[in-house]
Amino acid sequence: MKFRSLHVDVSKDSYNYNEEDDEDILGIIDYGIKVHIKNKSYSIDPLDPSNPMVFGIGPFAGGIVIGSHRIVFIFKSPVSMGIHVSELGGAGFAFFRTGLDGVVIEGKSKDPSIITIYSGDKGDYVKIEHIKEEELNNIYNNYEGYKGTRALTQYIILKDKENIIKNRARVIVVGPSAFKTRFAGIFSYVLDEHNAKITSVSDSASRGGGGTVLAKGHNVVGIVVGGTLRRNNPNLGNIKIMNEISQNIYKKQYMPTLLDKTVKYRFDPNMKTGGTFGVNYVHYKELVPYLGYNNIYYSRGVRLILHDKIIENYWKPFQENVFDGGKLTDASKNCGEPCSVSCKKIYKGTKIDYEPAHGVGPISGIITMDESANLVNLLDDLGLDAIEAGHLISWIFDLIDKGLLNPEEVGLDDYPVFDPERLSKETSIKNANLARKLIEYIVFDENNKILKIISERGLRAAAKEFDDIYKERVSKIGIKYEDLLVYAPFGKEGYMTPNYYWSPGVLAPMYVLGKYWTDYSPSFKEPEDYASLSLKRAIFEYIVANAGFCRFHRGWAEELMSYMYKEMLNVNKDLYSHGLKMYKMIADYQLRSGAEPEYWESKKVMDIVASLAAETGITGWEDTMYHREKLKNWWERFYNKLNQELNK
């Protein structure tokens, strides 16, 4: 496999192409890890201009294989302080026509820059344009009726609309939050291919602060990719190969297999709903985390009552609008590639996925769908990681509720409602209004001391600083600020807030968290068993992401992938062994960065794990809520087993 990359130095407005044939590069993450190790980025600050931003696609993009068109970003994270991977759905369908496999951005532009990359029969086209900071801020504030990321997207479109349409390009941007916080994402909107109009479907590579790396590290605010090239491997377009592989494994052809394995994300006729939002609330029920994870402390009866409120006020309006009460409608869209799963669910013009909506939904005491959808739009406009934003909002609400902060100290004029019994439509609207203020203040209020510490230093460091600033409150109430924050610590400074699942796996000592590279089921197991299971899940997730696949296709792709590499790419490798080797390289990188997993610091995190042990009734662990030494023993045994597996 040959890997063709473009290296851009925005400090010099220069670029060069590179082509290499490396048997250890089977996909874009492999290449990203190689670049980072070569550049020794583990020894520098994540926002240093020499910290490369690597992004690209997998080797199957551009063919008939559905779900293989994600753009994957690999960077040293200003959140975890280690290497991180984040994916952007569908945009690889434009990227593959550049003729590239990957792009590396280094250096820092003097003025905000926009990189355009096209390729066609007449050759390659790369352009680096600059705009003044004042003009950028004016665009973010309002451009053609849009704000934030949408405004910048529209600005880029109107500057080069004819070529964007001709090259079927995708515009990738960061929002204003990328210059103000450590946890901004990278955003892209699906464009109407006929007139380049922004549609209601967005996607983002949000976790880990990749948008902050682009903006603060490189002063890059926009990337345009597209072209007219096609990949020259005829096997990628040969449906017979996929049918034969699928027939051998699943005893049916490729498309029936794909549709069967992705039913949850499209529409499940048995549940009469679909997508992560539609399914998760009815599947996990009272095991969904609500109110800053405080429902772990409630009895099952109270959790069920709370769940019923959420179903009635939150899930049902979505269900009635998107699925017309229980049938598949045209409110299901795809992410920009012609994918039959159509996992993007559009509620009144807003794309709703479980975790972004949940962050400005039930985790923050917001249980009315319209308010949540409006806040999702706000987060997209600002370019913020919605999962991180949800943890931030719910943490501040919880701090106010417990008396560790006063509302006016964070610019609020009222108290949020964080009591499950008082939660209602009315209090939900009130919480949504307070959440909107917090989101806007965290990006735009330079004078609020509390929020500025959070935005500049991140949640973990902020919590520890608040312990010192308000030590009298800590002493009086008996709770530290980090005790109410849900996060896994990495090294001295790094951390990662988890995806919204009540599971030890999302907080366990894995080398990459904030993704699904772990077991995230609501279960509890012996630490050695859980470590082996989580590592296995991480390796399979790595294999899928490395090949540029959407994880919603993992149900069939994991089984077929090795055969696809062999029959379509003539690469005969043990993919699991390869993934294990690469994960070990990530682990080594994290250790060199000083971003290795550390034992939990937050009481609530310990309680999340201990309460699930009690909930599942695993013999020997059900009383860990009252025996912290058992929890530490579980963590240490998990971590030791993980490292034993990696060092075999």
pLDDT of residue 231: 83
367 located within any domain? yes
Same domain, 162 and 71: yes
Same domain, 443 and 551: no
Q: Are 617 and 497 in contact (CB under 8 A)?
A: no
Same domain, 570 and 480: no
Same domain, 336 and 401: yes
pLDDT of residue 283: 95
pLDDT of residue 648: 86
Residue that the structure tokens 């509720």 belong to: 401
Q: Read off the tokens for 620.
A: 């020997």
Q: Are 524 and 504 in contact (CB under 8 A)?
A: yes
Same domain, 480 and 531: no
> What distance in Å separates the CA atoms of residue 224 and residue 156, rounded to the nearest whole number?
8
525 located within any domain? yes
Four-CA torsion 14, 20, 23, 24, nearest 10 degrees: -10
441 located within any domain? yes
DSSP, residue by residue, 610-643: HHHHHHHT-TTTTTGGG-HHHHHHHHHHHHHHHH
Same domain, 419 and 552: no
DSSP, residue by residue, 241-285: HHHHHHHHHHSS-HHHHHHHHTHHHH-BTTTTB-HHHHHHHHHHG
How much is the pTM?
A: 0.97
Consecutive 10-residue runs of the chain (648 residues): their mean pLDDT? 95 96 96 98 98 98 97 98 97 96 98 96 90 98 98 97 96 98 98 96 97 98 95 93 98 97 95 96 96 97 97 97 91 94 96 97 98 98 98 98 98 97 97 98 95 97 98 98 98 98 98 97 96 98 98 97 97 97 98 98 97 91 91 98 96
End-of-domain residue from the set 484, 517, 549: 484
Same domain, 436 and 296: yes
CA 251, chain centre distance (Å)? 34
25 located within any domain? yes
Q: Give the count of beta carbons closer than 10 Å to the beta carbon of residue 168.
A: 16
Specify the number of domains making up the chain.
3
Helices (H) and strands (E) in the chain — how many of each?
Answer: 25, 17
Selection from 540, 496, 536, 504 nearest residue 522 by Cα: 504
Q: How many residues does the chain have?
A: 648
Residue that the structure tokens 């434009």 belong to: 94
User: Is residue 564 exposed (0-12), middle (13-18) or buried (19+ Cβ within 10 Å)?
Assistant: buried
End-of-domain residue from the set 484, 509, 543: 484
Q: Read off the tokens for 424.
A: 């209602």
> What distance in Å separates the CA atoms of residue 417 and residue 553, rounded to the nearest whole number?
39
244 located within any domain? no
241 located within any domain? no
Selection from 461, 483, 462 nearest residue 604 by Cα: 483
Longest dimension (CA), the chain: 72
Q: Are 339 and 333 in contact (CB under 8 A)?
A: no
What range defines the domain where residue 153 resides?
2-235
Same domain, 467 and 515: no
End-of-domain residue from the set 434, 450, 484: 484
DSSP, residue by residue, 412-443: -SS-----TTT--HHHHHHHHHHHHHHHHHHH
Same domain, 16 and 68: yes
CATH number of the domain that 338 lies in?
1.10.569.10
Same domain, 327 and 301: yes
CATH number of the domain that 114 lies in?
3.60.9.10
Same domain, 226 and 273: no
243 located within any domain? no
For CA atoms 253, 255, 256, 257, the dihedral sign is positive
For CA atoms 340, 349, 70, 139, the dihedral sign is positive
246 located within any domain? no
pLDDT of residue 371: 98
Same domain, 312 and 425: yes
